[in-house]
Chains A and B, each alone.
Chain A
């Protein structure tokens, strides 16, 4: 009996092993090692143990605090917009339209393209000398802009987001739209037909059907997307880094004038460009804690509102 249970457990762990190995090697171990590095003065090579001094310094580092602020702006400016447009598109594409498959493919296409390639192409679009964006503005009789080089704010001159970050946010929304659309579509497909029919018999339709039947039953999907997109946006790197010059245009990432230096870029800058490996590790670990806290808040606020059909 006992041998049988052991064998069963062993088989279970064997099945878990590939995933555990991958998660352990590429997620858990680096996280533990980053925590270890963050406790040292570590510039190129490991130096003295300094306890929590790197974390103390983070709290008074204006560059780190502003990068957290910019991350917040980036999250608020992208996640709700992606989700709203993604939901609207999903509802449209859920209808029996002609060429529905083609539209689904088109919207999903950016998401399966390499982020670096996408960012490079959009970098050309926004290039102040030869970009299509300025071509369009000029054709409309508007003055050309410097786009990704512009550190001035779009809402007010000194406040974020800068025009550069706004351009990056637009590309981020364009990139993730297809993902949100497809996931919402799968959520819509999962809504039981009989519930929709029943609501229709009761006289619901249009907005009321959406407000009282579709949207509540989509809530598991909405919650999932909110969580995944928020975590993704808080740790967003590729698009922001490449469109901010990718270390080629202005030295290391996050320019112009640090107005696109979101938290992940701050970590990159301190780690790779300034080789403050210990300090950057502290920033990375602190960012991880912030993401965890926001995910918990998300859970607290929204998980109770999630309704599961059936």
Chain B
């Protein structure tokens, strides 16, 4: 009698020691799996979503959720938690208090990596491979770059940890009226952009360029377009202190300090002057268009120009922005499954098209890009295709858990150069040392 009890106890103990989720997932990968079982009935549960979708985009997201709730047993409650940084901070607090939502938006791979390192996520792969998921064939319909961005190496195996939702890329915005007045065409290379700004300065009274310096707009795309990269592929070392890195910094210093063609702003302060037709060029994500159009004076509208970021010797490059979704492992299994069903629904063709048209984010699926509703809109306004075309040149933000610490160091590097406080060479040397210290880990 005693022996079986002992065996059961040991078995129970062993099973409770196994991680609820984590690197050692034993689920087969989507590529090798065909879905055999039929999905269980949908759980009738209410799940919570925390997001950072503000203004118009928040309204559109709530409309999508209302549509989901009216057609499903699962009910989703949405809470807007502020900017992506504030959302992250609130999730970190919730982790301490053990009150995490069922699913949340993450601003990109670094935040996913930080959560993953803390072992608070259930990898989405688990559901992708389940009867609720996709066949390998179905999964091919998703834009590969978007799945790659959500894929992490887990014990040497590629695993989808988060799921794409709202994706955008960095683009060059321009005011066609000012360009026409100055007689310049849309620049295709960094050198062309620099000379176009000089011409705008000479021939018009517009501000040639306005932007808020950080690591994403200019430094990274310029570096990538020269063939450089910011971190080593295993995220163990800084790799940006190279002639390409120095050139990427120097380019910004040249615009601000030498040519005096670029105005440094703070936050989104470039947006209103641009919307008022006072600025020729700006750089931002593809979702800035609705915000710019909203800020435009009614009697002074113009057609906002959008183009890919200029190219370097190795071709064009841009950053992949937007947000992904994650599921937390502390919530009940049926809530996790419900969260996945909702996430999957969000990326169905109908929803991804509706979300893309409403928000300016890109449709996530190849079939969505060919869907009649999307094609009809794209025919009317080819600007919808600019971001999609740039996607092939998009690099994800490094999925390093320490990127949250690295980003401000890189931001300071750019700021110190464009404000003339340091030379490009000195600033990059200082930043390299700090980044390597961070990666060496304290």
Q: Which residues of A contact B (CB under 8 A)?
A: 43-45, 57, 127-129, 146, 148-152, 245, 247-252, 255-258, 269, 272-277, 279
Interface string of B411-427 (1 = CB under 8 A from A): 11001100101000000
Residues of chain A within 8 A (CB-CB) of B273 are 129
Question: Does the CB pair B115–A44 fall under 8 Å?
Answer: yes
Extra pairs beyond A45-B119, A146-B264, A256-B419 (8, CB < 8 Å): A44-B92, A127-B266, A151-B419, A249-B212, A250-B411, A255-B411, A257-B415, A257-B416
Given A44-B92, A245-B266, A249-B267: A255 and B120 within 8 A (CB)?
Answer: no
Whether B83 sits at the interface, judged by CB under 8 Å, is yes
Residues of chain A within 8 A (CB-CB) of B33 are none
Residues of chain B within 8 A (CB-CB) of A277 are 92, 96
CB neighbors of A among B330-367 (8 A) = none
User: Nearest Cβ in chain B — how far from A58, in angstroms?
Assistant: 11
Interface string of B57-90 (1 = CB under 8 A from A): 0000000000000000000000000010110010
**What are 8 residue pairs bridging A and B, where the CB atoms are less than 8 Å apart in the complex?**
A45-B118, A45-B120, A129-B273, A151-B415, A251-B214, A251-B407, A256-B415, A273-B89
Residues of chain A within 8 A (CB-CB) of B184 are none
User: Nearest Cβ in chain A — how far from B432, in angstroms?
Assistant: 16
Question: Does the CB pair A151–B408 fall under 8 Å?
Answer: no
Residues of chain A within 8 A (CB-CB) of B214 are 250-251
Q: How many residues of B contact A (CB 8 A)?
A: 34
The residue on A at minimum CB distance from B119 is A45
CB neighbors of A among B274-293 (8 A) = none
Question: Does the CB pair B269–A129 fall under 8 Å?
Answer: yes
Question: Does the CB pair B85–A273 fall under 8 Å?
Answer: yes
A14 to B273, CA, bound (A): 61
The residue on B at minimum CB distance from A37 is B96
Question: Does the CB pair A149–B114 fall under 8 Å?
Answer: no
A128 to B273, CA, bound (A): 13
The residue on B at minimum CB distance from A256 is B415
Residues of chain B within 8 A (CB-CB) of A245 are 266-267
Question: Does the CB pair B264–A248 fall under 8 Å?
Answer: no
Whether B404 sits at the interface, judged by CB under 8 Å, is yes
Residues of chain B within 8 A (CB-CB) of A279 are 442
The residue on B at minimum CB distance from A63 is B434
Question: Does the CB pair A43–B85 fall under 8 Å?
Answer: no
Given A43-B118, A275-B92: A247 and B83 within 8 A (CB)?
Answer: yes
Given A129-B273, A250-B415, A251-B214: A272 and B92 within 8 A (CB)?
Answer: yes
Which of A129, A151, A274 contacts B404 (CB under 8 A)? A274
Residues of chain B within 8 A (CB-CB) of A152 are 419, 421
A275 to B411, CA, bound (A): 18
Looking at chain A's contact residues, the main secondary structure is loop
User: Nearest Cβ in chain B — how far from A140, in angstroms?
Assistant: 22
Among B85, B265, B408, residue most surrounded by chain A Cβ atoms (within 10 Å): B408
Pairs A-B, 9 closest by C-beta atoms = A44-B118, A249-B267, A249-B266, A45-B118, A272-B89, A274-B405, A248-B267, A251-B408, A251-B411
Residues of chain B within 8 A (CB-CB) of A251 are 85, 214, 407-408, 411
Among B115, B266, B404, residue most surrounded by chain A Cβ atoms (within 10 Å): B266
Residues of chain A within 8 A (CB-CB) of B407 are 251
A146 to B85, CA, bound (A): 25
Residues of chain A within 8 A (CB-CB) of B416 are 151, 257
User: Nearest Cβ in chain A — how far from B427, in angstroms?
Assistant: 10
A43 to B405, CA, bound (A): 12
Residues of chain A within 8 A (CB-CB) of B415 are 151, 250, 255-257
Given A44-B120, A247-B83, A252-B85: A57 and B442 within 8 A (CB)?
Answer: yes
Which of B212, B266, B408, B412 contacts A273 (CB under 8 A)? B408
A258 to B416, CA, bound (A): 11
The residue on B at minimum CB distance from A57 is B442
The residue on B at minimum CB distance from A62 is B434
User: Nearest Cβ in chain A — how far from B272, in angstroms?
Assistant: 8
Residues of chain B within 8 A (CB-CB) of A43 are 114, 117-118
The residue on A at minimum CB distance from B210 is A129
Residues of chain A within 8 A (CB-CB) of B419 are 149-152, 256-257
Given A45-B118, A251-B214: A258 and B412 within 8 A (CB)?
Answer: yes
User: Nearest Cβ in chain A — how far from B120, in angstroms?
Assistant: 7
Among A44, A152, A251, A255, residue most surrounded by chain B Cβ atoms (within 10 Å): A44
Residues of chain B within 8 A (CB-CB) of A151 are 415-416, 419, 421
Question: Does the CB pair A250–B266 fall under 8 Å?
Answer: yes
User: Nearest Cβ in chain A — how far from B208, in angstroms?
Assistant: 15
Given A151-B421, A257-B412: A129 and B265 within 8 A (CB)?
Answer: yes
Residues of chain A within 8 A (CB-CB) of B442 are 57, 279
User: Nearest Cβ in chain B — how far from A61, in angstroms?
Assistant: 9
A257 to B409, CA, bound (A): 9
User: Nearest Cβ in chain A — how far from B222, in angstroms?
Assistant: 19
Interface string of B238-278 (1 = CB under 8 A from A): 00000000000000000000000001111111000100000
Among A43, A148, A152, residue most surrounded by chain B Cβ atoms (within 10 Å): A43
A152 to B265, CA, bound (A): 17
